[in-house]
């Protein structure tokens, strides 16, 4: 199959493209900013003419930019006859309806319900596994530097993080005719409480797993509200603190026959090693 993968300058897009190449597909790698010396197609998924031109001769496409950005491109590809299109949303669409970000994603999902193509929408839970993931990599850096992790609230909310390699694998699987169309959640192999997750992060950082400092939400909410009132930008906003003790478990069924391969302990250990190498290079 001839498959377009957009967003290959990012980690997820790169992994999906490599996975598809390993499966002997004819892959067109594309990114908004072409990497010097690469064979990537320069493609802005918000550029209708460019997307329609790129659609010619394709059997399938995997759009890695978040769905609130890539939904129009999915429609244009479908109109040009691309048979199967895979896009990425977020599991939080089914959890955090008050958030403007996830409302926009829900609207983007709804906008693709009537397109003339086989649509697969993947909703990952918290993705981790690379140094710029913005989630567990940040916690690992903090734990390595300070030896503890602050945990707002009781730390009882359930999380089910998924390694980026598992997300890439199911993204590649989804182009196949045997994979049904529709929306699916993509999660890791195990659900655990936030405080337990933080303990695993500390262990991967070489620190005592018990060094989780639970912080009462009341004072944190007051501090965040005060900071926002004077224009300070804190890592956690009042709206986030209001929702921080909600479970983040999958809200949709998993793709058929999908089973996450990377266990949290292994994924965090590999991430800690990668962070150490990254720091040495820096």
Domains and their CATH numbers in the chain: 2-124 (3.40.50.720), 128-162+189-247+262-282 (3.90.25.10)
Report the predicted TM-score, pTM, of the whole model to 2 decimal places.
0.92
Instruction: Say how far apart CA 172 and CA 255 lie, in whole Å.
Output: 12
48-52, 229-233, 264-268: segment of lowest average pLDDT: 229-233
Q: What is the pLDDT of residue 37?
A: 57
Mean pLDDT, residues 214-222 taken together: 90
Mean pLDDT, residues 186-193 taken together: 97
| Tens digits of residue pLDDT in 61-112 | 999 999 999 999 999 999 999 999 999 999 999 998 888 999 999 999 999 9
| Tens digits of residue pLDDT in 17-47 | 999 999 999 999 999 886 655 668 999 999 9
Q: What is the pLDDT of residue 280?
A: 55
Mean pLDDT, residues 146-151 taken together: 93
Q: What is the pLDDT of residue 204?
A: 97
Mean pLDDT, residues 251-277 taken together: 95
Tokens of 65: 């930019």
Q: What is the pLDDT of residue 72?
A: 98
Using the structure block, give the residue that is written with the tokens 């009462």: 216
Mean pLDDT of the chain: 93
Q: Does residue 118 register a pLDDT over 60?
A: yes
Instruction: Say how far apart CA 251 and CA 7 lie, in whole Å.
Output: 26
Q: Which residue has the higher pLDDT, 185 or 138?
A: 185
47-56, 197-206, 218-227, 272-281: segment of lowest average pLDDT: 272-281
pLDDT bin (cut points 50, 70, 90) of residue 235 is low
C-alpha pair distances (Å), 18 with each of 86, 166, 228: 16, 13, 43
Q: What is the pLDDT of residue 223?
A: 87
Over pLDDT 70: what percentage of the chain?
95
Using the structure block, give the residue that is written with the tokens 């790129």: 54
Tokens of 31: 């990114």
* 202 in Cβ contact with 265 (< 8 Å): no
Instruction: Say how far apart CA 71 and CA 183 lie, in whole Å.
Output: 14
The phi and psi torsions of 140 (rounded to 5 degrees) equal: -60, -45
- What does the chain come to in residues? 282
Calculate helix-pair angle for 264-281, 136-146, nearest 10 degrees: 70
Q: What is the pLDDT of residue 233?
A: 72
pLDDT bin (cut points 50, 70, 90) of residue 135 is confident
Q: What is the pLDDT of residue 279?
A: 67
Over pLDDT 90: what percentage of the chain?
80
CB-side neighbour CA atoms (13 Å) of 127: 21
Mean pLDDT, residues 260-265 taken together: 97
Q: What is the pLDDT of residue 40?
A: 81
Closest by CA position to 120, among listed 31, 205, 180: 180
Q: What angle do CA 84, 90, 93 make, to 5 degrees?
A: 115
Q: Does residue 6 register a pLDDT over 90?
A: yes
End-to-end Cα, the chain, rounded Å: 40
pLDDT bin (cut points 50, 70, 90) of residue 191 is very high
């Amino acid at each position: 199959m001839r498959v377009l993968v957009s967003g290959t300058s990012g980690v997820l897009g790169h992994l999906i493209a490599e996975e598809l190449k390993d499966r002997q597909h004819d892959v067109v790698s594309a990114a908004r900013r072409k990497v010097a010396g690469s064979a990537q197609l320069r493609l802005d998924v918000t550029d209708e003419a460019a997307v329609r031109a790129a659609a010619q001769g394709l059997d399938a496409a995997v759009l890695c930019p978040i769905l609130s950005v890539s939904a129009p491109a999915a429609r244009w590809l479908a109109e040009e006859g691309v048979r199967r299109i895979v896009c990425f949303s977020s599991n939080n669409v089914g959890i955090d309806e008050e958030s403007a970000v996830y409302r926009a994603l829900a609207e983007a999902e709804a906008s693709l319900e009537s397109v003339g193509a086989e649509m697969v929408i993947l909703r990952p839970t918290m993705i981790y596994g690379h140094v710029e993931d913005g989630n567990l990599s940040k916690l690992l850096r903090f734990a390595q530097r300070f030896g503890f992790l602050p945990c707002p609230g009781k730390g009882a909310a359930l999380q089910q993080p998924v390694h980026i390699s598992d997300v890439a694998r199911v993204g590649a699987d989804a182009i196949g005719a045997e994979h049904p169309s529709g929306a699916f959640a993509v999660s890791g192999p195990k659900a655990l409480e936030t405080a337990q997750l933080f303990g695993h992060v500390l262990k991967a950082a070489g620190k005592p797993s018990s060094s989780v400092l639970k912080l009462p939400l009341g004072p944190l909410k007051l501090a965040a509200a005060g900071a926002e009132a004077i224009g300070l930008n804190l890592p956690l906003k009042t709206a986030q603190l209001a929702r921080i003790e909600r479970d983040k478990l999958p809200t949709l069924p998993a793709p058929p026959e999908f089973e996450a391969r990377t266990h949290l302990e292994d994924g965090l250990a590999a991430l800690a090693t990668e962070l150490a190498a990254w720091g040495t290079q820096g």
